[in-house]
């Protein structure tokens, strides 16, 4: 019973962690710009996720593996959106 409760609490935290980046993605989409987002921050954040994944694999912690994997994917989406809109801004005729 304790394992199920731990997983439920862990995946609830994962769900909240996933949700908190969605408004940022919508803001980038709405503004058609991610210029206020630091690329260095995204890469440093992803590096921390990589180490969390390594740590989680060693500890066999599926919650951290899932959370970190989703976090990396979301950061890559934000990075891609940032680059996409920056590229489109450069290519638009002025």
Tokens 């962690």, residue located: 17
pTM of the model: 0.84
pLDDT exceeds cutoff 90 at 2: no
Tell me the per-residue pLDDT of 32-87, one tens digit each, with 9 for 90 and over.
999 999 999 999 999 999 999 999 999 999 999 999 999 999 999 999 999 999 99
Query: For residue 78, what are its two tokens?
Result: 């934000």
Tell me the per-residue pLDDT of 7-39, one tens digit each, with 9 for 90 and over.
899 899 889 988 989 999 999 999 999 999 999
Dihedral sign, Cα of residue 38, residue 44, residue 47, residue 53: negative
Ordered structural domains, the chain, with CATH:
2-91 (1.20.1280.290)
H helical segments located in the chain = 2-19, 22-31, 39-59, 62-91
């Amino acid at each position: 019973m304790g394992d199920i409760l731990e997983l439920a609490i862990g995946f609830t935290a994962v769900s909240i962690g996933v949700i908190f980046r969605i408004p940022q993605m919508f803001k980038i989409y709405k503004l058609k710009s991610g210029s206020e987002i630091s690329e260095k921050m995204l890469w440093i954040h992803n590096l921390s996720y990589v180490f969390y994944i390594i740590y989680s694999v060693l500890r066999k912690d599926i919650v951290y593996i899932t959370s970190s994997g989703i976090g990396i994917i979301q950061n890559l989406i934000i990075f891609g959106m940032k680059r996409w809109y920056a590229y489109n801004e450069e290519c638009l005729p002025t």
